[in-house]
Amino acid sequence: MIRAFKNPLLSLLGVLAVGAIFQFAFDEYIQLMVLFITVNCLMAMSLNLVNGYTGQFSLGHAGFMAIGAYFTAYASTHWNFLPAELQGVSFFIFAIGSGLAAALAGFLVGLPSLRLKGDYLAIVTLGFGEIIRVSLLNMDVLGGPRGFANIPGFSNFYMSYSFAVLWILICFFTIWRVMKSSWGRGFLSVREDEIAAESTGVNTTGMKVRAFVLSSFFAGVAGALFAHFTNFINPSSFTFLQSVNAVIMVVLGGMGSMTGSIIAAIFVTSLPEALRPLQEWTGVDLRMVIYSLSLILVMILRPKGIMGELEITDLWRKYVRRSARS
Amino acid sequence: MQDFVQHLINGISLGSIYALIALGYTMVYGILKMINFAHSDVYMVGAFGAFYVARAFGIEANPGIGSLAILLISSMLVCSILGLLIERLAYRPLRNAPKLNILITAIGVSLFLEYGGQALFGANPRVFPEVMKDFVIFSFGNVELKSFDITVLVVSVLAMLGLQYLIYKTKLGKAMRAVSANASVASLLGVNPDKIIAFTFIVGSALAGVGSVLVGMKYPKIDPLMGMMIGMKAFVAAVLGGIGNVRGAVLGALIMGLSEEMVVAYLSSTYRDALAFGILIAILIFKPAGLLGKYSVEKV
């Protein structure tokens, strides 16, 4: 059964069926949560490519998300070349445009800064994220600090959900296939030992830039989805905290595990809602306290994260099949 | 011209505060080769510590040098204890872990202090008590030299001279330099690296405590997220001067303080926060070791 999910079409059908349940069985509040989960899944998976597979620490992911979100916001309010019935198609095209815009930004950011390592790279990407945010604050065309309102969205939950699922699967299978290709081997070799990789003829800077560009493409798409789902964006949606959120998901899920990122995205997005009664009782926003504490504890007790480098399919092979045989 | 001199004074005053915080970053980096992201939040806790001490002892009623000294000492104490705790509980278990894990832990500690602080102290800004009276010492046309600027400068120069003495003239300082050069060889020669690292955290945090009282005195509004931006700038200052280099940190901080003041004065204040990152990116691309840093070749 689990093998079926390795087929994009079958898994699309499976996840769409799950969406149908949410469409009819749950209220709007939970449906909105599901949409946010899909955005975060996309963010976590794309960041996983850089942080998990390539071993470079990026803290500016929110900046790329912001570029994507603003691109879609501008495009879908100003350019209406398709009739209203084909809204989904035009949104799809805008999402690709957002991704390309973010990827271009990723290329410009990555080319100079990816020669740096570890801590410095983290700080520089953080800096670029902040610079993007400050520039957006100063752009009156895009609303400046007031934000960008009235972004057209989908008419109902199921449309939004299917759109998001389509992009998640595109992202998942793209990264999946890339990681099985020679590029993917290059990414992994950069993570394991950069000097050794360089000396065996891997163009390490090139590999890092490729990973970075691909990652920022999907972050831009995540931003586009976010813009359509909330209908309103402003620069303060894309702060340092948003980047840290994505990092938390990647780290908790396991650096180098796609399904781990998805699980962590679901967990991290729904946890604060589950904690809402506790928050009302104590009157304090405990969400970030718990996140940060769990981040420290995970690093000390289980540095690999929940899944390590395994995928859920590997676990299936390891435990379920074995028990069936015995 | 007079405006320019005034901005110069403000910039130096700001720069010396940055320097106190940048020293903490640079010391920890010099000895552990890690960025202590939580340093700026230790500074925040120091400000709150001083705030509560001032309230408990009723210091705001009689401002003067004496109350400044009490606040400085109490804030230094609070910060050193916190720095020690962070080192012991969060960083020491990860001493030999990969760099990425240590970096993520540091970010975790920073977020924990920020949001734990919000839960503990409340998210609303508090007003720092008046430690000293602010008066004009010297004025020339529009240029005013205020007592706060002098105090900030004097206190921070004293703290830096003390640090200089500690590092280059005492036995502990020699041990610190030894651990920074090579921890395992230092331990063969009878230095306990764990103790020296803990001591480094104490000293760096105490300097942050001094900085927090000075900032509280000059800009009397403190809140749990106050460390975020000033920490970033102090860190940029440390990188600018060459991270791990004590004199470089002071030089970088002065450059940062002056350039920030000039940007606010002559360009736009909205770009104030982007400036730090602009400087950082430029320095890392063109001179990655910083102004006074040494290049090191990575050995396989």
* C-alpha span between A97 and B254 (Å, rounded): 43
Report, as ranges of residue numbers, the positions in chain A whose pLDDT lies below 70.
1-6, 118, 282-285, 320-326
Distance CA B187, CA A253 (A): 38
Give the pLDDT confidence score for residue A63 in this predicted structure.
Answer: 92
Q: What confidence tens digit (pLDDT) does each residue in A212-243 have?
A: 999 999 999 999 999 998 888 888 888 888 88
CA distance linking residue A112 with residue A208, whole number of Å: 11
B101 touches chain A (CB under 8 A): yes
Q: What is the dihedral of CA A240, A245, A251, A253, to 10 degrees?
A: -160
pLDDT at B83: 92
- In this complex, do B271 and A134 lie within 8 Å of one another by their Cβ atoms? yes
**So what's the pLDDT on residue A4?**
55
Residue B127 pLDDT: 84
Reading the block at residue B30, the tokens are 């010099």
The tens-digit pLDDT sequence of chain B (300 residues) is 778 888 888 888 889 888 888 988 888 888 888 888 889 999 999 999 988 888 888 776 777 777 888 888 999 999 999 999 999 998 888 888 887 788 888 889 998 998 888 888 877 888 887 777 777 777 777 777 777 888 888 888 888 888 889 988 999 999 988 988 888 898 898 889 899 999 999 999 999 999 888 888 888 888 888 888 888 888 888 888 887 788 888 899 999 889 888 888 887 777 777 787 788 878 877 877 777 777 665 555
Q: State which residue of chain B sits closest to A109, comparing Cα positions.
A: B281
Residue B218, Cα to own-chain centre: how many angstroms? 15
Mutate one of A194, A249, A291, A292 to test the B interface: name it (highest B CB count within 10 A).
A292
- pLDDT > 90 fraction of chain A, expressed in percent and rounded: 19
Non-local (6+) Cβ contacts of A268 within 8 A are A40, A245, A248, A249, A252, A291
Buried b (16+ CB within 10 A) or exposed e, A32-41: ebbbbbbbbb
| Exposure string over B153-163, b if 16+ CB within 10 A, otherwise e | bebbeebbeeb
ipTM for the complex shown? 0.81
CA atoms within 13 A on the CB side of B115: 16
Query: Measured between beta carbons, which residues in chain B are less than 8 angstroms from residue A251?
Result: 104
Q: Do A123 and B280 touch (CB under 8 A)?
A: yes
- Ranges of H-type helices in B33-146: 39-57, 65-86, 99-121
Task: Give the pLDDT of residue B297.
Answer: 59
What is the number of other CB atoms lying within 10 angstroms of the CB of residue A77? 13
Please answer yes or no on whether A247 and B276 come within 8 Å at the CB atom.
no
Contact list, A60 vs chain B (CB under 8 Å): none
User: DSSP label at A155?
Assistant: S
**Cβ neighbours of A245 in B, within 8 Å:** none
Contact A253, A261 (CB under 8 A): yes
pLDDT on residue B119: 82
- The rounded distance, in Å, linking the Cα atoms of B35 and A55 is 18
State whether B104 and A244 contact (CB < 8 Å): no
Chain A residues lying within 8 Å of B118, measured CB to CB: 284-285
Determine contact, residues B180/B61, Cβ cutoff 8 Å: no
B41, B43, B45, B49 alpha-carbon torsion, rounded to 10° = 180
pLDDT digits (tens, 9 = 90+) for A238-267: 888 888 888 888 888 888 888 889 889 998
At residue A221, the pLDDT reads: 94
Alpha-carbon distance of B274 to B284, in angstroms, equals 15
Interface size A-B, in CB pairs within 8 Å, comes to 113
Mutate to test the interface with A, among B29, B39, B104 (most CBs of A within 10 A): B104
Q: Quick count: other Cβ atoms within 10 Å of Cβ B286?
A: 8
Backbone angles phi, psi at A179, to 5 degrees: -70, -20
Spatial CB neighbours of A19, under 8 Å, sequence gap ≥ 6: A34, A158, A161, A162, A165
Q: Find out whether A233 and A72 touch, Cβ atoms under 8 Å.
A: no
